Amino acid sequence: MSAYIDQFPEEAKVIRSAFYASFFALALGAAFGLIQTLHRTDFVRIIPAEMYYTVLTAHGVLMVVTFTIFFLVAIFTWAVTTSLDRGVEDIRFTWSWYGLMTLGTAFAAIAILAGFTDRTEISADVLFTFYAPLQAHPMFYVGLVLFVIGTWLAGADWFRSWWAWKQENPDKRIPLPTFMVLTTMIMWYLATLGVATSIIAFLLPWSLGLIDTVNPTLTRTLFWFWGHPVVYFWLMPAYMMWYIMLPKFSGGRLFSDPLARVVFVLFLLLSTPVGIHHQYLDPGIAEGFKFIAMTNTMFLLLPSLLTAFTVVASMEHGARQRGGEGYFGWLGALPWRDPVFTGMALAGLMFAAGGFSGMINAGMNINYLVHNSLWVPGHFHLTVGTAVALTFMAVSYYFIPQVTGRRLASKQIALVQVVMWFVGMTFMSNAMHRGGLLGMPRRTAEPEYAGFQFETAIGTVGELNAQIALGGVLLTLSTLLFIVNMSITALNDRDDDLPSNTIPEPLSGPNEAPLVLDNLKLWTAIAVVLVIFAYSLPLASIVERGGLFGPGGDAFPMFLELADSFGFALVGETLSAMVSSLLETLRTVV
Amino acid sequence: MSSDADALERHIGHDEFDPVGTLALIGIYFLILLLMWLFMYFVEFLGNDLTVVGMI
Ligand code: HEM
Ligand SMILES: [Cu+2]
């Protein structure tokens, strides 16, 4: 019974480093968030409008790729080592995937941030979706590839631990936290095939000048093949925290281990064959395929609703053990003064609200009302921007002392911080949703137009903008409090009576879960089949209509000359000759 | 963080635990959902012009 750092001092170092990388990205991302919030709403405009896209790309990539994924590899490493009660097999391997992820981030970030200066031609103003014909400097794509390979190796590290553990414990059930990590990673391997293909086969060669054009519908579709499951890559670690940490902090036990396993299996199966629901308005994809994606999406609501039930029931169990009574009275018995608990509970509450707008987004016909409007950022600041981000910040108040051995600088400030995030997001997100319903566009630096006024049913555009700006300021302040609190904690003196690093047993344990749930091979196979069903026809028809490399058109901006000057040209010609002869062969075979 | 097992007043096992509070909260969630669907139908859907799907 001791703190994590005493149990696994070497692993604690890697985990710490991953947390710090993630916090660094969060801090930068929040600074950009503030700039764009104040710019859009016309309160403070410190950048020229063209630079808005550099800021927005940096905000998107740093938040949803760097911050979230570095954080989750940290807690996944914690979860596997803690629940298997064994260190990683080879700590050098662990450092090497961490190093690769860091290198990849540095590449991508340098390419994006270079967009701020005219001293170099390098830029990557392509937003986090990098849709063609927007083109980034090759360094951006290379960075993404390295980063993703880093995550693949991280997954291999955890699988390796599990295999080694299984040799020694042949008859035991996979411990729940490890089960969650493994199912999430299988989903991730499947999902990243899409984005890896898009980048390695098309976008990177295209930005290097090896191929002239790409088929934008194809690269978009491959992007969303990954782009939807990536939201579960953010959410499943948050769910893991709700399943195993929330009961711990509310003084109860997880209601049901089998139900938790069912939820993670459902996510593995259903996360990927739904990506086309982000393309309801894309021309070039038949309505029928969109309808299939919508149906799968509606099924995907199920595991989230199951989660709502299990997690709330586990909190209720805690509250009743603490003496709570009645239908609603038990809510008062929860430990609201504890920032870890309160942050997670508020994050869950916001996720419930995000569920409402998510159901709107998911409907093919209603989606038309909100597509590409400010409603959409309103929605995902509730989900990834709060359900995930606030959960991560909240559990950091537990994890950072655990992996550094230092005393948390201030629990009071931590409590203020999580509540401030909740309040700030209530303002910002609510006003964004309403703005979207009026037709205010997203991804727009200056959404005011000569001779045109958005019509409001209640309130005014000025009031909406004020709420967005106020919310953005509160969120930035909250981030600042978080970063300062964490920094002081990391430098604080040792805490000799840290709570021990344990995960309470569930009320209904793993032995009541059907054995088949642990059959990862079976679930992987079904997941693959579902993906083939959902994607083979749409992809085939996209390629048939537009060709693998598209109907033509120019990239924006062009990096061709740049790539030439690096001496890529020769390699380029050889490679593209190889690719086209390969395609010829394929064509004759098919 | 304080809230591990120390603050507990009693222990409730699997069989004695009846999550009525959870039922109540989820009931409220579905009620809100229902009302918002109604609201959406009348205000957003009937209140706006037709959206065209397929051929005109
Ligand atoms: C300090 C807190 C934050 C503020 C003030 C903020 C503000 C904003 C604003 C105003 C936009 C919309 C810009 C536009 O469409 O023109 C935006 C977009 C976005 N935000 Fe945030 N945000 C914050 C935190 C987060 C967090 C924590 C995440 C995710 C973990 C996140 C992810 C995103 C993403 C993915 C976009 C879309 C970028 C795009 O359209 O390409 N934000 N943010
Ligand atoms: Cu999606």
- Cis previous bond, A551, omega within 30: no
First to last CA, chain A: 62
CB A280 within 8 A of CB A360: no
Instruction: Report the range of poorest mean pLDDT among A179-183, A204-208, A413-417, B5-9.
Output: B5-9
Question: Given this model, what pLDDT does residue A301 score?
Answer: 87
Domain borders along chain A are: 4-558
Question: Given this model, what pLDDT does residue A162 score?
Answer: 97
CA of A294 to the centre of ligand 2 (A): 10
- Residue whose Cα lies nearest atom 20 of ligand 1: it is A60
Cβ-based burial of B52 (10 A; exposed 0-12, middle 13-18, buried ≥19): exposed
Task: Count other Cβ atoms within 10 Å, centred on residue A116.
Answer: 13
- Token output for A490: 């990391």
- Of A59, A376, A479, the one to substitute when testing ligand 1's pocket (max ligand atoms within 8 A of C-beta) is A59
- Residue whose Cα lies nearest atom 22 of ligand 1: it is A33
Distance, CA of A203 to CA of A200 (rounded, Å):
7
CA distance B15 to chain A (A): 9
pLDDT category, A566, cuts 50, 70, 90? very low
- Of A381, A392, A423, A440, the one to substitute when testing ligand 1's pocket (max ligand atoms within 8 A of C-beta) is A381
- Mean pLDDT to the nearest integer, A397-402: 96
In this complex, the residue of B3, B20, B33 whose CB is nearest that of residue A335 is B3
How far from A137 is each of A114, A122, A204, A232, A404, CA to CA, in Å? 10, 6, 9, 28, 38
Which atom of ligand 1 is least distant from the CA of A68?
30
Whether A330 and chain B come into contact, CB under 8 Å, resolves to yes
DSSP H helices in A85-137 = 91-113
- Residue whose Cα lies nearest atom 6 of ligand 1: it is A33
- Mean pLDDT to the nearest integer, A151-165: 98
For residues A194, A200, A202 and A206, what is the CA-based torsion angle, rounded to 10 degrees?
Answer: 150
Question: Given this model, what pLDDT does residue A568 score?
Answer: 47
How far from A406 is each of A141, A391, A486, A493, CA to CA, in Å? 38, 21, 10, 6
Question: Given this model, what pLDDT does residue A504 score?
Answer: 83
Distance, CA of A358 to CA of A278 (rounded, Å):
12
In this complex, the residue of B11, B20, B48 whose CB is nearest that of residue A327 is B20
Whether A340 and chain B come into contact, CB under 8 Å, resolves to yes
- Residue whose Cα lies nearest atom 28 of ligand 1: it is A385
> Position A585: which residue type?
T
> Which of A503, A4, A5 lies closest to A245 in space, CA to CA?
A503
Q: What lines the ligand 1 site, CB under 6 Å?
A: A 30, 33-34, 36-37, 40, 56, 59-60, 63-64, 67-68, 127-128, 377, 381, 384-385, 389, 442-444, 472, 475-476, 479
Q: Which residues on A lie below 8 Å from B46 (Cβ)?
A: none
The 8 Å CB, 24+ separation contacts for A9-12 are: A10/A87, A10/A91, A11/A77, A11/A78, A11/A81, A11/A87, A11/A88, A11/A91, A11/A94, A12/A402, A12/A403, A12/A404
- Residue whose Cα lies nearest atom 24 of ligand 1: it is A385
CA distance A233 to chain B (A): 25
- Mean pLDDT to the nearest integer, A139-164: 97
Specify whether the backbone of B17 is left (phi greater than 0), alpha (psi in -120 to 50) or beta. Answer: beta
- Element (DSSP H or E) covering residue A67: none
Q: Which residues on A lie below 8 Å from B44 (Cβ)?
A: 366, 369, 437
Question: Given this model, what pLDDT does residue B46 score?
Answer: 73
pLDDT category, A588, cuts 50, 70, 90? low
User: Above 90 in pLDDT, residue A16?
Assistant: yes
Question: Given this model, what pLDDT does residue A18 score?
Answer: 98
A519-564 pLDDT, tens digit per residue, is: 999 999 999 999 999 999 999 999 998 899 988 778 888 664 554 4
CA of A442 to the centre of ligand 1 (A): 10
Whether A368 and chain B come into contact, CB under 8 Å, resolves to yes
A423-459 pLDDT, tens digit per residue, is: 999 999 999 999 998 889 999 999 988 888 887 777 8
Distance, CA of A376 to CA of A251 (rounded, Å):
36
First to last CA, chain B: 62
How far from A45 is each of A48, A179, A433, CA to CA, in Å? 7, 48, 23
How far from A399 is each of A158, A252, B1, B43, CA to CA, in Å? 19, 19, 11, 46
Task: Count other Cβ atoms within 10 Å, centred on residue A355.
Answer: 19
CA of A458 to the centre of ligand 2 (A): 30
Residue A494 annotated in active site? no
- Element (DSSP H or E) covering residue B42: none
Distance, CA of A8 to CA of A30 (rounded, Å):
32
Distance, CA of A7 to CA of A429 (rounded, Å):
41
Topology of the domain covering A4-558: Cytochrome C Oxidase; Chain A (1.20.210)
Q: Least CA distance to B12: which residue of chain A? A: A321
Q: Which residues on A lie below 8 Å from B24 (Cβ)?
A: 327-328
Residue A278 annotated in active site? no
B14-46 pLDDT, tens digit per residue, is: 777 888 999 999 999 999 989 988 887 776 667
Distance, CA of A110 to CA of A28 (rounded, Å):
13
Which atom of ligand 1 is least distant from the CA of A478?
1
- Token output for A420: 């401030």
- Mean pLDDT to the nearest integer, A96-106: 98
CA of A366 to the centre of ligand 2 (A): 15
DSSP A177-194: HHHHHHHHHHHHHHHHHH
Whether B8 and chain A come into contact, CB under 8 Å, resolves to yes
Distance, CA of A525 to CA of A520 (rounded, Å):
9
Task: Identify the residue among B22, B50, B51 best suited for mutation to test binding to A, counting A beta carbons within 10 A and taking the highest.
Answer: B22
Question: Given this model, what pLDDT does residue A496 score?
Answer: 86
- Helix count and strand count (H, E) for chain B: 1, 0
- Token output for A461: 């555009």
Question: Given this model, what pLDDT does residue A14 score?
Answer: 98
A586 Cβ contact partners less than 8 Å away, ≥ 6 residues apart: none
Averaged confidence pLDDT in chain A: 92
CA of A56 to the centre of ligand 1 (A): 8
Catalytic residue among A220, A317, A381, A433: A381
A378-397 pLDDT, tens digit per residue, is: 999 999 999 999 999 999 99
- Mean pLDDT to the nearest integer, A464-490: 97
Catalytic residue among A23, A70, A232, A399: A232
Residue A379 annotated in active site? yes
> Which of A346, A98, A378 lies closest to A238 in space, CA to CA?
A346
Whether A320 and chain B come into contact, CB under 8 Å, resolves to yes
User: Above 70 in pLDDT, residue A361?
Assistant: yes
Chain position carrying tokens 């009693």? B10
For residues A233, A238, A243 and A245, what is the CA-based torsion angle, rounded to 10 degrees?
Answer: 140
Question: Given this model, what pLDDT does residue A577 score?
Answer: 58
User: Above 70 in pLDDT, residue A189?
Assistant: yes
Question: Given this model, what pLDDT does residue A59 score?
Answer: 98
Distance, CA of A295 to CA of A344 (rounded, Å):
30
Residue A228 annotated in active site? yes
Q: Work out the angle between the directed axes of helices A461-491 and A389-404 (0-180°, nearest 10).
A: 10
- Mean pLDDT to the nearest integer, A200-215: 95
A266 Cβ contact partners less than 8 Å away, ≥ 6 residues apart: A300, A302, A303, A306
A210-254 pLDDT, tens digit per residue, is: 999 999 999 999 999 999 999 999 999 999 999 999 988 988 888
Distance, CA of A217 to CA of A236 (rounded, Å):
29
Domain borders along chain B are: 19-56
Answer yes or no: do A366 and B40 touch at CB < 8 A.
Answer: yes
* Sign (positive or negative) of CA dihedral B49, B50, B55, B56: negative
Distance, CA of A9 to CA of A404 (rounded, Å):
9
CB A310 within 8 A of CB A297: no
Cβ-based burial of A494 (10 A; exposed 0-12, middle 13-18, buried ≥19): exposed
Question: Mind spelling out the 3-state secondary structure of A424-473?
Answer: HHHHHHHHHHHHHHCCCECCCCCCCCCCCCCCCCCCCHHHHHHHHHHHHH
A472 Cβ contact partners less than 8 Å away, ≥ 6 residues apart: A33, A34, A37, A38, A424, A428
Higher pLDDT residue, B12 or A38?
A38
CA distance A315 to chain B (A): 9
Q: How many CB pairs under 8 A join A and B?
A: 86
User: Above 80 in pLDDT, residue A181?
Assistant: yes
Whether B54 and chain A come into contact, CB under 8 Å, resolves to yes
